[in-house]
Amino acid sequence: MVATHQVVIQGETATSRCYLHAQHIRKHAVGGPHYVVAGRYEDNFVRTPQGWRIKNRTLAGMWTEGNVAVVRG
């Protein structure tokens, strides 16, 4: 789930922030089948002739719970 989008436009650039809550499940993972992550995406955008494009994205983790091996393959 991604929510609470905040966008600030300044001419040909923009910044945004949104919060995320992601639940990952792998039924047969050693150590348990669940891993939950909460965090925040911080994005920088630039306007091009083709429209707005993401220049970069940063993921700031806030907390995790469960078995990280679920997402490590």
pTM: 0.78
Q: Is residue 25 within 8 Å of 33, Cβ to Cβ?
A: yes
pLDDT at 57: 98
Query: Tell me, what CATH number does 19's domain have?
Result: 3.10.450.50
pLDDT at 10: 98
pLDDT at 69: 95
Q: Is residue 48 within 8 Å of 41, Cβ to Cβ?
A: no
Per DSSP, the residues of 4-25 read EEEEEEETTEEEEEEEEEEEEE
Angle at 22 (CA atoms; ends 8, 16), nearest 5 degrees: 5
Structural domain total, the chain: 1
**Domain extent at residue 60:** 2-70
pLDDT at 68: 96
| Ordered per-residue pLDDT tens for the chain, 73 residues | 999 999 999 999 999 999 999 999 999 999 999 999 999 999 999 999 999 999 999 999 999 999 999 999 7
DSSP secondary-structure letter at 30?
T
